[in-house]
Structure 1
Amino acid sequence: MSDPVTQNELQSIERLFSDFAWFADRCDAEALANLFVPGGVLSVGGRESAGSDNIAADCSKRFAVSDRKTRHMWSNLRVEMPTADTARTTAIQLTFETSGDDTPARLRVNDVIDELRKGASGEWRFVSRHIRCEMALELQHQ
């Protein structure tokens, strides 16, 4: 049985998802890593980073690619709360990416599967976030 998801909890979880997208798009590896509990795990395309320092380092490597720009959007959020301070979520994430050269922009449609924990301050953090590409498309310039 799952606890009911309150509007307040849902808004807090939505903010966590939006913060993840915002920090990823602004190449802020430290802020993105701080969205995870200390031993949290981020898995992107099967490449796993565990712990805030490793998550920040992995993100910094991706962000260091010259002229790379991304924009992330998410939708279709589903939330289950096994307890008042834990949640399991799924969502769809769209990742738009350009390289700044003549290669076509790319769009990835990802399934996102998360385990969340609410801290003593009431803020939600990722325990684990698994981002799995389900479709990849090239976008032609007009």
Structure 2
Amino acid sequence: MSPDNSAIHGGWRLKSFVARDDAGNTRHPLGRHPRGLILYTADGWMSAQLAPDPAEDAEIGAYIAYGGTFHLDAAAGTVRHDVVMATMPDLLARPQLRHYVIDGDILTLSASMDGETGRTHSTLVWRRDAAGSARPS
């Protein structure tokens, strides 16, 4: 990892997960107040855990966890997650490519996926979690 990639290193707490289809319909797959943590280490490892809002009926009603290595392409604005362990087998099938933007303490990851009902554009917004403040927000 080059020093230029260090802005993504650390822990980030999930603030929102929104999915939009090509028709403009918006969904909150983990509810309006999802829980999650994603970690990026200086030596190239990552780990993510996401869970639905326990007070809501969420589209994705299960805990999602995965981890592996990551590779940042700052010029392309992408981060690739090479998943080696996951609760969802589909995540192991191929590298998970995400567009990323870091704006201060906000990390936005986005991806588009083709499914049975068309294309879905997902956006996850994360806030940097300062060391020692690992309490739910």
Is the TM value for this pair above 0.5?
no
Higher strand proportion (structure 1 or 2): 2
TM-score (norm 1): 0.40
Structure exhibiting the larger radius of gyration computed from Cα positions: 1
